[in-house]
Structure 1
Amino acid sequence: MQRRVTAARAALAVALSGAVAVSCTGSLTGEDTAGGNGAAGAASTTAAPGSHSVLPEPCGAVPESTLSGLLPDAAPQALDGEPALTYDIGRRVGCTWRSPSDAGTHRLEIDFERVVSYVRGTSDDDQAAQDFRRRAADLGIRLDPREGTAPAGPPPERMRPVPSDAPAGEFAPRALEGIGNAAYVDDRLTTTQSGARRDVTLAFHSGNVIVTVRYAQAVTEPARSPGSAGLQEGATEVARHLAERFSS
């Protein structure tokens, strides 16, 4: 009789432990699918990955015919370009071309930066838009406030004024349309007793990649300064070509 009671108690204990296990498993599953503190809840706040996961090879990104036009009298080997020193080609790459000529030394530089967001709930594309707007604001350039979904960056009162040596009128530093998601051009002239140099920087972002094109000309005649029109036109040609590559 004692053995029967003991066996019955043991069977009851096994049944109860099984019921508790099922109950606990069901409770945990319910929390996960409800999106509380489970994996499903965390996944729901994860932002989408960036539009671009790789960067193009920079020294082959500009057509040779374009390089020949922008770098007068350039030697054939000069059109190969010099890759920028970088420690992570998945995040940033660049290339530079140089050419001395009778019209002065020309220099073309391109830079690709793939932005990765480390802010929960902010996508790589939105982070790139925010970074880009801040860069423009640091130069005193205000982009279209409708561009992107990221914060607009520093308010107007914190934006730096355009320096007095920047060209006026249609060549002034300004926002551009029709290149990437947003774009701007900056134009700077530096003069010394031995000559002058003009640097035109045209930057745009496409998704989570920020592209910077710098086209410069230096002359050794103090009485002659490089003009804005040709340099801005050249930088725009390169930028439009690169923007098409990222949009395709």
Structure 2
Amino acid sequence: MQRKAYVPGVALLVALVAGCSSGSGTDGTATDSKAGVPKAAAAPPGRYRTLPEPCRAVNKGVLKDMLPGAAELPDDQKAKAYAGAAELTYDTDRRVGCRWKDEAPDGARRLFVDFERVVSYDPAVSDDDRAKAVYGKKESAAKLPAPKDGGKDTPRGTPRTGGSGKPGTTGAAPSAKPSGKPSPGLRAQSRAASSAAPTPTTATPSPPVSSGPPATTPDGLRPRILTGLGDAAYLDDALTASGSAAQRRTVTVVFRTSNVIVTVEYTEQPSSPNAAAPDSQELQEKTQALAAKLAELFGE
């Protein structure tokens, strides 16, 4: 009777394969060796894996409208002005930006566009949820004012005051109920003040202090939450001045669409310090129009 040959190496290989198969779970669910949790339990990734090229995201027609001074430049300089300058970045799949500038006799204009793709490295938190948190911090940092304050607009940077005159209070300050009789200490103070007071003389009235109307912004143009733009959006409008320089207005629109946050910043500053401040409505309309066009890129 002939015996069958026994190959130890083959038997060992079969055992190893069987052992590896049994380690994948009784239900056949594979595990993510990096995260250490089942793939089925991981939060879904964001909708966007790449970002648009920012300097090409704004079409030439929009640039001509927002940078009118560039139209007067020689052809080579005009092309350079419309091309913009890309922001330095080390990961174009995560964040990219582009800047344009316009120097004209009547003033200077600046345009900035930024795309940020948010990624969550926590397997239990989705990219969208992480993007919501990042956007929320930006909105909080903008410190948008309340829609109304006692029926009147409150300019940005002006503390709200109530009857007490202290910032952050509303309404009249509570007054103590009079007792009807002054305290002994008050009576002593009153007698001392009367004896020390000089003889009244005719005083020259001080000239009235001239105060113009408060620099308020109409309700429709104040910094605010925007609707109909991405999943969430807000607009900020800031007017600043530095020394003898002309007032500079910067309008910023930030919106989130899934796991991407888009920022559009448009600034205008007249060349003359005596010039009127840049028109808020005009800058807001142009900035919002551009933001809407950029939102369409992510909707396609």
The one of 183, 196, 199 aligned to 2:233? 183
Change (3 A) 1:73 1:44: same
1:202 lines up with 2:247 in the alignment: no
Larger radius of gyration: 2
1:94 lines up with 2:97 in the alignment: yes
Q: CA deviation at 1:90?
A: 1.2
1:245 lines up with 2:241 in the alignment: no
Q: CA deviation at 1:85?
A: 1.1
Q: How many residue pairs end up in the alignment?
A: 216
After TM superposition, the structure 1 = structure 2 runs for residues 22-61 of structure 1, keeping only pairs within 5 Å, are: 28=23, 30-31=25-26, 33=28, 42-61=38-57
Q: CA deviation at 1:127?
A: 0.9
After TM superposition, the structure 1 = structure 2 runs for residues 1-248 of structure 1, keeping only pairs within 5 Å, are: 28=23, 30-31=25-26, 33=28, 42-74=38-70, 75=73, 76-77=78-79, 78-141=81-144, 162-164=156-158, 167-192=217-242, 193-223=244-274, 224-248=276-300
Confirm or deny: 8 A CA contact 1:31 1:37 kept in the other structure. Answer: no
Partners of 1:36 and 1:92 lie apart in 2 by 30
TM-score (norm 1): 0.76
Confirm or deny: 8 A CA contact 1:45 1:121 kept in the other structure. Answer: yes
Give the letter aligned to residue 93 of structure 1: V
Greater mean deviation of Cα atoms: 180-189 or 25-34? 25-34
Deviation digits for residues 87-119 of structure 1 (CA, Å, limit 9, x no counterpart): 111111111111122331111110011111112
Greater length-normalized contact order (CA 8 Å, ≥ 6 residues apart): 2
**What percentage of residue pairs aligned between the two structures are identical?**
39
Give the letter aligned to residue 200 of structure 1: V
Q: Structure 1 or 2: larger strand share?
A: 1
Deviation digits for residues 41-73 of structure 1 (CA, Å, limit 9, x no counterpart): 521221111111111111110110110011112
Change (3 A) 1:23 1:90: closer
Deviation digits for residues 76-95 of structure 1 (CA, Å, limit 9, x no counterpart): 22111111111111111111
Partners of 1:48 and 1:95 lie apart in 2 by 30
SS of the aligned residue for 2:101 comes to strand
SS of the aligned residue for 2:104 comes to coil
Partners of 2:83 and 2:32 lie apart in 1 by 54
Q: CA deviation at 1:167?
A: 4.0
Q: Structure 1 or 2: larger helix share?
A: 1
Structure 1: give runs of 5+ residues left out of the alignment.
1-16, 143-160
Greater mean deviation of Cα atoms: 122-131 or 216-225? 216-225
Partners of 1:37 and 1:245 lie apart in 2 by 33
Deviation digits for residues 143-191 of structure 1 (CA, Å, limit 9, x no counterpart): xxxxxxxxxxxxxxxxxx9523884522111110111111101111111
TM-score (norm 2): 0.63
